[in-house]
Amino acid sequence: MMSLLSRMVINKCKSGSGSINTSVSLLIQRWNLVNKTLIHTNNDGWNGPTDVLQYLYQRGPLIDSLDYVKLLQSCVKAKDLVVGRQVHNHILRHGVRPNVYITNTLLKLYTHCGDVAEARHIFNDFSNKTIVSWNVMIAGYVHHGHTQEALTLFSNMQQEGLAPDKITFISVLTACSNSATLKLGREIHARVIEAGLAFDTDVGNALIRMYAKCGSIRDARQVFDEMVSRDVVSWASLIGAYAESGCGDKSLEIYQKMLQEGVQPSGITYMNALNACGSLKALKQGKEVHVHIVSSGFQSDVRVGTALIKMYSKCGAIKFARQAFENLLHRDVIAWNTMIGGLGENGQWNEAYETFCKMLQSGIVPDRTTYTTILNACARPAGLARAKEIHARAVEAGIVSDVRVGNAIINMYSKAGNLKDARQVFDKMLKRDVVSWTTMIGGYAEWKQVVESFTTFKQMLQEGMVPNKVTYMCVLKACASPVALEWGKEIHGQAVKSGLVADLTVSNALVNMYFKCGSIGDACQVFDNMTARDVISWNAMIGGLAQNGRGLEALQRFKEMKSEGIRPDAATFVSVLSACRHAGLVEEGRRQLSSMYNDSGVVPTEKHYSCMVDILGRAGRLKEAEDVILTMPLRPSASMWGALLAACRITCNVDVAERAADHCLKLEPQNAGVYVSLSDIYAAAGMWDDAAKVRRLMKGKGIEKEPGRSWIEVNGTIHSFIAKDQSHPRAPEIYAELEVLMKKMESLGYVPDTRFVMHDVDDQEREQAVRHHSEKLAIAYGLISTPAGTPIRISKNLRVCHDCHTATKLISKIVGREIIARDSNRFHHFRDGLCSCGDYW
């Protein structure tokens, strides 16, 4: 039923007492009023769009172009594309030839409401285009992220001889949004100068934003400095440009200058300044900005409040972040997401989950970002149960098919160690991007599932997905083991083909991978061929040489690093001290530790002191090692006392071992390695009752020793062995080969080292206990399964025992093959009866 107002307007028109234009204007005014209140039907039965369209269809061709323009403008304002299309159809149905005003308004309607394709169709069919037509179309493309189309249209416009105006320049400068468009941005800047718009404030602001997005902060600053007049947008743009470019200190400097010149910051200004404080972790400055926000009344602005939460979270001041969140009168989904993310990033996982629950209770509907944020917060073994619950909610919400959410679920399960569920989610994804593949490959790498990581990488290539540098870093990390060298080489070749081998981070990963595979030559070749190196490159080189028994070479590379002007960091000195440790360079270790701060400004940490303890302990200077722990300016950790305990095995010093073990167990009472080391030392000293007592204590506390395990790769398959292993299909051949080797070793004077056998039994039984250790079985299998003369590469999860070390030296001499073994501590390169460690490990 037609409303009273509609009937009154129509009757007025029929009686001739009002013009058709007046009638339509009244109806449109009513419709606009209804749209402003965000409802289309109210209590008096008035239905705005329906009544207006009903009236327009009744009048047919009597409606003139101005009425169409007004009606379309109302559709634009209301973002009502459905009604707008009906108005457009009405125009076409009655044969109205759209003039420039109608056409430009139609362009604005379709671009504003997201149908850019229809707008382009109208644009192409219209012959009398004005500068407004071009501007609307270009701005529409930019607004919806179609920057290349916008730039192409700008080029076409100039080819048709139409001069850009201020609006055009602002739009196309916005389209130049990455480093690839910097050259074009500079060309447009030149056109701006030619057009006499260089001193226009709005255009200047667009230039600042363009240069910042294209990565030329210097040009952005020059534009700012040359501006005749600046408004708050100018200042906010430059502050934001510096903040986004990682120049937080410069950003805050401009912010202070803005205040000094008496310019009142806007909400955007405050947000940019807070972003700078967060990136610098500058809590003091962030609090000062907060004071300004409160005094200027912006604290209730949800965007500014959200920026405060983010800043405090990045600064680790989660208490203040929570206060900023609680002070927000209105919280949108972004504010909730930021608070949840901040709690997760600061390790407050339970609080993140509780905040997520409160968000649900408050009636806020989680979006994709919410789910990715809370899933990342639950990405740890202890958060698995909650993560499964959130996964179920995401399924219910129907957003689990979103690739970003799917990636977050894979990451969550991977970080929690549940790779089976991670793979199920991965396999069920309808669409996978490079992040999906990389997350799955990285998850396998993190949990040392080498085969799965490599095969997933191969599958990725087979399905036509192009890996990025992060993908290569993940799969190279997985292959950083002697058993995966051939796979690592294959990945290296793939990186060369893709061109990513030139990327610094990929080259660093290759150096690290080759060293951890024990392939020193390949690692050095990659390093020497690098065109640029950073501190990470040098750390990988120094640490890799140290771990492979090349301590003196590592120290020489350290000198080269400093001569090239690369400033060492804390990790560098850990590698340097490790080189001294593996090479037995006690005095050099002392000198490096004492010179760290004075020469390089690096404050020694627990890791550095632990290395020094190990250096002294391995040299048999246990008292000095213990003095380092007791006199250093840090609270001793379990790892430091553990280093001292491990050193006691060399001299079987029971007194120091007992003190070190006591300190270790006070800090880490469930550490199985401490019990095992102490038991070994008791056994070596012949204190069988004490050794048995330690074992009973372990059993009573439910603490289990990690079994020794060794691995070897042959023909693309990784074979695993434990002591006395009979499960391998070729076990009879392996044991037969080992017996042959044992007889040959005995002829060379080999006597089994049974000092650390933990059972008080006769000599024959003690010899049998060490005869079939896992690394001996792996080496024997390698000898019967690989071509004569080729190196044998094995890895072990524990430190190699003295007996296996002696045996492996002799085997390398007997068979004339290099044996490369990586234990839990370092590499051993056995050749011609000698080891690279110099029997010092």
Is residue 56 exposed (0-12), middle (13-18) or buried (19+ Cβ within 10 Å)? buried
Across 491-515, average pLDDT: 96
pLDDT tens across 758-780, in order? 555 555 566 666 889 999 999 99
DSSP code for 181: G
Q: Are 642 and 678 in contact (CB under 8 A)?
A: no
Q: What confidence category does residue 515 fall into, taking pLDDT thresholds of 50, 70 and 90?
A: very high
Q: What is the pLDDT of residue 644?
A: 93
pLDDT in tens, 546-579: 999 999 999 999 999 999 999 999 999 999 999 9
Q: How far, in Å, CA of 400 to CA of 266, rounded?
A: 38
Give the per-residue pLDDT at 45.
36
pLDDT at 74: 84
- The sheet with strand 792-796 has its strands ordered as 717-722, 709-714, 792-796, 819-822, 827-831, 834-835
The mean per-residue pLDDT over the stretch 514-525 comes to 96
| pLDDT computed for residue 40 by the predictor | 39
Q: Which pLDDT score is estimated for 30?
A: 45
Distance (Å) of CA 464 to CA 118, 496, 823:
34, 17, 37
Cβ-Cβ contacts under 8 Å for 458 (sequence gap 6 or more): none
CA distances from 806 to 34, 628, 793, 818, 833 (A): 91, 32, 17, 14, 9
Closest listed residue to residue 182, CA positions, set 142, 210, 153: 210
| 615 vs 20, higher pLDDT | 615
**pLDDT band at 90, cuts 50/70/90?**
confident
CA nearest neighbour of 420 among 394, 444, 387: 444
Q: Residue 709: which of 481, 530, 437, 503 has the closest Cα? A: 481
Q: What average pLDDT does the segment 129-154 reach?
A: 94
Q: Is residue 357 predicted with pLDDT exceeding 80?
A: yes
Summarised one tens digit per residue, pLDDT across range 246-283 is 899 999 999 999 999 999 999 999 999 999 999 999 99
- The angle that helices 100-112 and 131-143 make with each other, rounded to 10 degrees, is 0
Res 841: pLDDT: 73
Nearest CA to 276 out of 303, 257, 248, 301 is that of 248
Please answer whether residues 401 and 432 qualify as being in contact, where contact means their C-beta atoms are separated by less than 8 angstroms: no
Pick from 41-55, 387-401, 550-564 the range whose average pLDDT is largest.
550-564
Give the predicted TM-score (pTM) of the model. Answer: 0.76
**Token reading at 308:** 């405060």
Output the pLDDT for position 317. 96
Over 80: is that where the pLDDT of 489 sits? yes
Share of the chain above pLDDT 70, in %: 91
Average pLDDT of the segment spanning 715-739: 94
CA 313 to chain centre: 17
- H or E element at residue 819: strand 819-822
d(CA 728, CA 716): 16
Q: Quick one: which of 623, 617, 685 has its CA closest to 645?
A: 617
pLDDT band at 675 (very low <50, low <70, confident <90, very high): very high
> Which alpha helices (DSSP H) does 144-216 contain, by range?
147-159, 166-175, 182-194, 201-213
- Read off the pLDDT of each residue in 389-416 and give the average, rounded to a whole number: 93
- What are the φ and ψ backbone dihedral angles of 830, each rounded to 5 degrees? -95, 130
Helix (H, G, I), strand (E, B) or coil at 118: helix
**Quick one: 222 exposed, middle or buried, by C-beta within 10 A (0-12, 13-18, 19+)?**
middle
pLDDT of residue 53: 62
Mean pLDDT across the stretch 811-830?
94
C-alpha angle 796/797/799, rounded to 5°? 80
- DSSP, collapsed to helix, strand or coil, labels residue 658 as helix
**Tens-place pLDDT, residues 92-102:** 887 788 899 99
* Residue 52 pLDDT exceeds 60: no
Residue with tokens 């000095």: 624
Diameter of the chain measured on Cα atoms: 127
pLDDT (0 to 100) of residue 70: 84
Query: Per residue in 293-312, pLDDT tens?
Result: 999 999 889 999 999 999 99
Give the helix, strand, coil percentages of the chain, each rounded to 5: 70, 5, 25
- Residue 389: what pLDDT? 92
pLDDT, residue 67, reads 81
Whole-angstrom distance, CA of residue 577 vs CA of residue 421: 42
pLDDT class of 51 with cuts at 50, 70, 90: low
The pLDDT value given to residue 770:
80
Amino acid residing at 136: V
Distance from the Cα of residue 151 to its chain's centroid: 32
User: Averaged over 727-740, what is the pLDDT?
Assistant: 96
**Nearest to residue 120, comparing CAs of 165, 153, 90, 168?**
153
> What pLDDT does residue 55 have?
58
Give 164-196 pLDDT, tens digit per residue: 999 999 999 999 988 889 999 999 999 999 999
